[in-house]
Chain A
Amino acid sequence: MPSCGSEPGGCGQVKEENPLTMHEKIEAMLEKVQKAPRYTGGEMNTAVKKWDEAALRFAFCFPDTYEIGMSHLGMKILYHGINSQPDMLCERVFMPWVDMKALMEAESVPLFSLESRTPISRFDVVGFTLQYEMSYTNILAMLKLGGIPLKNAERAEDDPIVVAGGPCAFNPEPLAEFIDAFMVGDGEEQILELNRAILEGRRAGLSRMDILKSLCRVQGVYVPALYDVSYNEDGTIAAMKPNCPEAPEKVMKAIITDLNSTYYPTEIPVPYTDIVHDRIMLEIMRGCTRGCRFCQAGMLYRPVRERSLENLVELAMSLENATGYEDISLSSLSSGDYTCLAELIRELIRRMKEKRVSISLPSLRLDSILKDSLEETQKERKTSLTFAPEAGTQRLRDVINKGVTEDDLIEKVRDAFQGGWSSVKLYFMMGLPTETYDDLDGIADLAGKVVREYFAVPKDQRAKGLRVTCSASVFVPKPFTPFQWEPQDTQEVVREKQRHLVTALKKVKGVNFNYHESDLSYLEACFARGDRRMGRVLLRAFEKGCMLDGWGEHFKYQAWREAFEETGVDPAFYAFRRREKDEILPWDFIDCGVTKEFLWREKERADAAVTTKDCRKGCNGCGLQRFKGVCSFCG
């Protein structure tokens, strides 16, 4: 292994077992598994640090497969961020696929890191990123495979400290029993502070509990064991109180005010094998000012912080030089809103021409200036264009504050068809608050109008092969959104609505309709707004073999239902119940920047189908204005 000196199989740190044996076992397994490159490591720009020279070793665990995890920008940023510290080391760990996992269990090979093939139990810190509720069973599977006790209360003094961050950490309660410390908010600086605190604690010989208490001084860190929760008779929360002086009543998320001065890697790993997003992802800004009421990310990542044009161009150049990637995509929640977007794209195209790098925008804005420059470089890339009207009628789009009008959409679609595109994807949600069957019919109407626009372009001027794909996902109410009090549609209602849509869209020629089973969204709803009691369901479901729930073929709905029954937890309480204004919500102890008062105000406006303006046009008082100099739009 080039990453750890002469000795194969892990730098001599594997003590219980002959290192050669574990290495050989892994090599033998790789001969048998489906996709061995998931486990080989050695990719360009992966860290080659000496185990013995690091004072703190961090296992960065992505609770999904290699292809998914390696496509995730946040992981790459934090991975290199930790490794940029001279005394810290970070290695990657992914969820092994079923075939590999079975072999590992049979051969008693513990879950290991890709770089040095070290069992995760030997790291000081084991960190999970929480991107999606339905990856929670994978976290338990990875801990178990790594030989780390699942429950934080059962971990010994020298077990690794298990931490977790990412968007789902904003409602950490369903994982409260399993994770030692959560990191809420922007991670770049926070993760280093957390590592420092752990390192200091270890050096000072503090007990595990005292180290955890000391983490409370890092902004955005939440240690669940330091809080007690009591419940009312109706099952709602009566109180959540810290049980020690170190733990703050409210956990304020970590915020990086200036992205330009924070860490961004100038090299990122380049995998050998195909992954989902195999390109440079350039985060041009964080946060979104649009205020769509269903969108959790839009609230969690406030305020909007833009990277400067100079900073971005420089980053793009050094990333290109370090990776050799052929594509750069601009990444953010709504790239079209970036202040100097046209200049940025023109500058990137100019600088990247020689290297033949193509620039792609996730949500394409077809302004006339952009059109020309794009056409120049992307002649061959007429893949499908994606639009997300989210709802079928203007009334419902007003309810969810999605500032797209039908005219906007049709105009963009017309531009696209005239520009030579023939394939359009339309994304909708069903089950949004106040939705009626008229709104569903609106989806079919809109799809029909899109088809008509295509045929309105003269035959010899349009590309052949019209493809309009309509997707409708099931709405999942999320914490820290104006819809956090709303019930989700029951599965019966969802199925009825899906049947209705299928019939309505059948009548529109040229449209493909996609929808998903509602079971997964239902579970997602339970976890998204779950409390500590959902942890019992999670554990039971895991014991019943649930794992890789996000991968259709492995989703065991029946097992989940049994898990609810056996633990006496009622899923309807979490998914289908309307919350009262004054109910204590499980995530109320977290301050995400946006206040509960603002969210309630937005909920009331939604009920009245009144829109709220984009706050680039004037502050709406979401709560970020409480902090001086944090939001650049609130004056």
Chain B
Amino acid sequence: MMAVFEKSPRLRHIGHLDIQRAVQRALRRSGLPVSYSKGFNPHILLTFASALSTGYAGRREIMEVQLEREVSPEAFLSAMNAAMPPDMQLSEAKMLPDQHIALMAAVQAADYTITLTDDAAAAAIAAKLPAFLAQESIIALRRTKSGMKETDIRPLIHTLKAEGNALRAVMTLTERLACKPGMLLDALAAFCGFEETPRVMVVRNALLGADTAGALAPLETL
């Protein structure tokens, strides 16, 4: 069963592992026939399409749960919504075909709203956005296991526009390659000549996959 859930802004400081544990406990409360792994330390068979960083909220996060027997999406939704905390409600559930590609591998990009707390900074960035995007390449620093690495994030930015004091961005997010909001902001701050990266509130609106024609679309619709 695949389900879409929210991580409300109130919970944005809760890390991915804690969110994962909260979902596991909700599943245990729900009374749904969840499957457990075999072995010494059995755990619920639960995966997430993508881990959401500490500090970010998510509107349409995606999880997949294995069940022992068939349950209708409606029954799944209502059992889970009764069991999930108010700040982590589900909006959709859907049965996945037996043979489907791993959700994690299907994610291609993500859609973010990045709200700046400082209006002046927001205005300055909005003004410079066309010039920023006109660059041929944008080198950003990315932390990896083997130290800082330079990445050209320009090809990873699919769309980027200003909406009031926020930025709306669709950026590549795969297991191999990603442009996270933090990298984008660092690059924007450097481009605008800010001394430090402005404070923001990040909401991940959707996880996107590629449809048969290769166009990006919300993962849960594919």
Do A and B interact with each other, yes or no? yes
B11 in the interface (beta carbon within 8 A): yes
Shortest Cβ distance from A379 into B: residue: B40
Partner of B36, one of A1, A28, A356: A356
Q: Which residues of A contact B18 (CB under 8 A)?
A: 37, 272-274
Q: Which residues of B contact A2 (CB under 8 A)?
A: 8, 10, 86-87
Beta-carbon contact of B40 and A324 below 8 Å = no
Partner of B117, one of A28, A43, A44, A270: A28
Partner of B28, one of A31, A274, A324: A324
Partner of B11, one of A28, A272, A380: A272
B29 in the interface (beta carbon within 8 A): yes
Using a CB-CB cutoff of 8 Å, which residues 374-399 of chain A contact chain B? 379-380
Beta-carbon contact of A30 and B13 below 8 Å = yes
Known contacts A324-B27, A356-B36, A380-B40: does B11 contact A44 (CB below 8 Å)? no
Could you tell me the dominant secondary structure of chain A's interface residues?
loop
Q: Which residues of A contact B24 (CB under 8 A)?
A: 324
Using a CB-CB cutoff of 8 Å, which residues 75-109 of chain B contact chain A? 83-87
Beta-carbon contact of A323 and B25 below 8 Å = yes
Using a CB-CB cutoff of 8 Å, which residues 27-48 of chain B contact chain A? 27-29, 31, 36, 40-42
B192 in the interface (beta carbon within 8 A): no
Q: Of A28, A272, A355, which is in contact with the most chain B CB atoms at under 10 Å from its CB?
A: A272
Q: Which residues of A contact B31 (CB under 8 A)?
A: 321
Q: Of A3, A44, A323, A356, which is in contact with the most chain B CB atoms at under 10 Å from its CB?
A: A44
Q: Which residues of B contact A323 (CB under 8 A)?
A: 25, 29
Q: CA of A379 to CA of B18 in the docked complex: distance in angstroms? A: 25
Using an 8 Å CB-CB cutoff, how does the interface string of A349-362 with B read, 1 for contact, 0 for none?
00000011000000
Beta-carbon contact of B14 and A37 below 8 Å = yes
Using an 8 Å CB-CB cutoff, how does the interface string of A19-50 with B read, 1 for contact, 0 for none?
00000000010110000110011111000100
Q: Which residues of A contact B84 (CB under 8 A)?
A: 44
Q: How many residues of B contact A (CB 8 A)?
A: 28
Q: CA of A42 to CA of B7 in the docked complex: distance in angstroms? A: 12
CB distance from B81 to the nearest CB of A (A): 13
Shortest Cβ distance from A36 into B: residue: B13
CB distance from B38 to the nearest CB of A (A): 12
Q: Which residues of B contact A321 (CB under 8 A)?
A: 29, 31
Q: CA of A324 to CA of B28 in the docked complex: distance in angstroms? A: 5
Beta-carbon contact of B87 and A42 below 8 Å = yes
B129 in the interface (beta carbon within 8 A): no
Using a CB-CB cutoff of 8 Å, which residues 297-343 of chain A contact chain B? 320-326
Known contacts A36-B13, A356-B42: does B25 contact A324 (CB below 8 Å)? yes
Q: CA of A270 to CA of B42 in the docked complex: distance in angstroms? A: 21
B22 in the interface (beta carbon within 8 A): yes
Known contacts A36-B13, A37-B14, A40-B14: does B41 contact A380 (CB below 8 Å)? yes
Shortest Cβ distance from B39 into A: residue: A380
Q: CA of A565 to CA of B79 in the docked complex: distance in angstroms? A: 63
Beta-carbon contact of B19 and A272 below 8 Å = yes
Known contacts A272-B18, A356-B36, A380-B40: does B11 contact A42 (CB below 8 Å)? yes
Q: CA of A41 to CA of B14 in the docked complex: distance in angstroms? A: 11
Beta-carbon contact of B85 and A324 below 8 Å = no
B199 in the interface (beta carbon within 8 A): yes
Q: Which residues of A contact B29 (CB under 8 A)?
A: 44, 321-324
Shortest Cβ distance from B22 into A: residue: A272
Beta-carbon contact of B10 and A42 below 8 Å = yes
Shortest Cβ distance from A1 into B: residue: B10
Q: Which residues of B contact A356 (CB under 8 A)?
A: 36, 42
Q: Which residues of A contact B21 (CB under 8 A)?
A: 272
Q: Which residues of B contact A273 (CB under 8 A)?
A: 14, 18
Partner of A40, one of B13, B36, B41: B13
Q: CA of A322 to CA of B26 in the docked complex: distance in angstroms? A: 9
Partner of A37, one of B13, B25, B41: B13
Q: CA of A3 to CA of B85 in the docked complex: distance in angstroms? A: 11
Q: Which residues of B contact A1 (CB under 8 A)?
A: 10
Q: CA of A356 to CA of B36 in the docked complex: distance in angstroms? A: 9
CB distance from B14 to the nearest CB of A (A): 5
Beta-carbon contact of B10 and A40 below 8 Å = yes
Partner of A272, one of B14, B27, B41, B117: B14
Using an 8 Å CB-CB cutoff, how does the interface string of A145-170 with B read, 1 for contact, 0 for none?
00000000000000000000000000
CB distance from A404 to the nearest CB of B (A): 33
Using an 8 Å CB-CB cutoff, how does the interface string of A44-59 with B read, 1 for contact, 0 for none?
1000100000000000
Q: Which 7 pairs from chain A and chain B are nearest by CB? A: A324-B25, A36-B13, A324-B28, A324-B29, A380-B40, A2-B86, A44-B85
Interface residue ranges, B against A (CB under 8 Å): 8, 10-11, 13-14, 18-19, 21-22, 24-29, 31, 36, 40-42, 55, 83-87, 117, 199
27 A-B contact pairs sorted by A residue (CB < 8 Å): A2-B8, A2-B10, A2-B86, A3-B86, A28-B117, A31-B55, A31-B199, A36-B13, A37-B18, A40-B14, A41-B10, A42-B87, A43-B85, A44-B25, A44-B26, A44-B85, A270-B25, A272-B18, A272-B19, A273-B14, A273-B18, A323-B29, A324-B26, A324-B27, A326-B25, A355-B28, A379-B40
Given known contacts A40-B10, A42-B86, A355-B28, what 17 new A-B pairs fall within 8 Å (CB)?
A1-B10, A2-B87, A3-B86, A37-B13, A40-B13, A40-B14, A42-B10, A44-B25, A272-B19, A274-B18, A323-B25, A324-B24, A324-B26, A324-B27, A324-B29, A326-B28, A380-B40
